[in-house]
């Protein structure tokens, strides 16, 4: 799914003939929904409804289909599409769905979900119709194709039978992802950072804001997934960017848990929705990589959470005690102005 093959590094980038057969697949909505989800992605779809009981045809069809897909795609693209669309067809995840599922959806859907004609249906089902999560996801998808989040959000009706609806309440006035971007940018400007490394940049939502501001003279985006960097390059239109602007930004494949000399020397390192994706035993490795080796003048971290109060970007709080002597503002742990404004509403 990551689009890498050490034995044949040239092969993952090629589109190859593929055939996928799922003999028994639950599909809420039947074969028609299967066609609507897979056909726009270039698949030839054959979905045959399975009878409820082969010996008693009068009972009609079951909610299951025999699915066969054929097409010419990159294997990584095929796997990520199946990863998202099979649960969407089932429409009945059997585990707790939280904000980490939004990140999984956007990561797996990078490069295809934003342009899918049934993206609202896919997002709604994948996230179990939890309105707050769907609102966050459609806001992020809106950034990919420059649509207004409100236009997508209007396509996400509340399900009065969903037990999560009352818990999630109404959607926020502004998507949390935008509040987090504003909080991070505010923290960087307060520190007068001119060179910034966005570690774990994903498909580049923050990089777009950084490169549009000439105050940031050098910008580095890193991610462990090569496919995410490819999508970031497409979203940023690096191939059509003016030379002077293009010279300020660079994308590199790198993992936050391994030392990388290319991260050294920056005014600021941003860890935006990164920490929560690491297993607890790997956090000391992140600490050594960022604070022990790269040693930026400042560090900003934000995490995704259920409420507005968690949109804040915290500066300096991640400096470990052993390195705080190098930091001129170790007492700074208050929330940023955008976050305070958001929580006061």
* Whole-structure pTM value: 0.46
- State the average pLDDT for the chain: 80
192 C-beta neighbours (distance < 10 Å), count: 11
Q: What is the pLDDT of residue 5?
A: 77
**Above 70 in pLDDT, residue 149?**
no
| pLDDT interval class at 8 (50, 70, 90) | confident
Rounded to an integer, the average pLDDT of 104-108 is 89
Q: Outline where 146-270 has alpha helix (H).
A: 149-153, 165-168, 176-190, 205-211, 226-236, 243-246
Q: What is the pLDDT of residue 270?
A: 94
| pLDDT interval class at 150 (50, 70, 90) | very low
Q: What is the pLDDT of residue 337?
A: 43
The C-alpha angle 207, 123, 39, rounded to 5 degrees, equals: 100
List, in order of start, the domains of the chain with CATH numbers. Answer: 1-77 (no CATH), 93-171 (no CATH), 176-344 (3.40.50.150)
**Above 50 in pLDDT, residue 329?**
no
**Above 80 in pLDDT, residue 68?**
yes
Q: What is the pLDDT of residues 207-241, one digit of tens each?
A: 999 999 999 999 999 999 898 899 999 999 999 99
Alpha carbons 264 and 42: distance in angstroms, whole number: 43
Q: Which has the minimum average pLDDT: 37-46, 95-104, 105-114, 308-317?
A: 308-317
Strands 16-26 and 44-51, how do they pair?
unpaired
Alpha carbons 30 and 102: distance in angstroms, whole number: 25
Rounded to an integer, the average pLDDT of 258-281 is 90
Helix axis angle for 119-126 and 131-145, nearest 10°, is 140
Is residue 210 within 8 Å of 268, Cβ to Cβ?
no
Phi, psi of 183 (to 5 degrees): -65, -45
Q: What is the pLDDT of residue 279?
A: 85
């Amino acid at each position: 799914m990551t689009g890498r093959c050490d034995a044949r590094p040239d092969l993952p980038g090629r589109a190859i003939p593929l055939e996928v057969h799922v003999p028994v697949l639950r599909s809420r909505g039947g074969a028609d929904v299967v066609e609507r989800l897979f056909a726009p992605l270039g698949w030839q779809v054959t979905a045959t409804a399975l009878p409820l009981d082969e010996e008693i045809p009068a009972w009609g069809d079951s909610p299951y289909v025999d699915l066969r897909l054929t097409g010419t795609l990159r294997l990584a693209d095929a796997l990520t599409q199946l990863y998202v669309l099979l649960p969407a067809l089932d429409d009945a995840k059997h585990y707790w769905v939280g904000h980490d599922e939004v990140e999984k959806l956007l990561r797996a859907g990078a490069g295809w979900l934003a342009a899918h004609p049934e993206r609202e249906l896919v997002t709604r089902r994948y996230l179990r119709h939890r309105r707050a999560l769907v609102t966050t996801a459609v806001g992020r998808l809106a950034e990919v194709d420059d649509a207004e989040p409100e236009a997508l959000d209007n396509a996400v009706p509340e399900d009065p039978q969903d037990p999560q609806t009352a818990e999630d309440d109404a959607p926020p006035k502004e998507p949390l992802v935008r509040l987090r971007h504003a909080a991070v940018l505010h923290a960087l400007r307060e520190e007068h950072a001119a060179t910034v490394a966005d570690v774990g940049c994903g498909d580049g939502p923050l990089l777009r804001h950084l490169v549009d501001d000439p105050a940031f003279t050098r910008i580095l985006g890193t991610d462990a997934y090569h496919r995410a960097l490819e999508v970031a390059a497409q979203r940023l239109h690096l191939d059509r960017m003016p030379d002077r602007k293009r010279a300020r930004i660079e994308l590199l494949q790198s993992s936050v848990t391994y030392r990388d000399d290319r991260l050294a020397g920056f005014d600021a390192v941003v860890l935006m929705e990164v920490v929560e994706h690491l297993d607890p035993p790997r956090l000391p490795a992140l600490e050594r990589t960022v604070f022990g080796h790269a040693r930026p003048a400042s560090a900003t971290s934000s995490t995704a959470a259920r409420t507005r109060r968690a949109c804040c970007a915290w500066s300096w709080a991640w400096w470990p005690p052993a390195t705080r002597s190098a930091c001129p503002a170790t007492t700074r742990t208050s929330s940023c102005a955008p976050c305070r404004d958001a929580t006061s509403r």
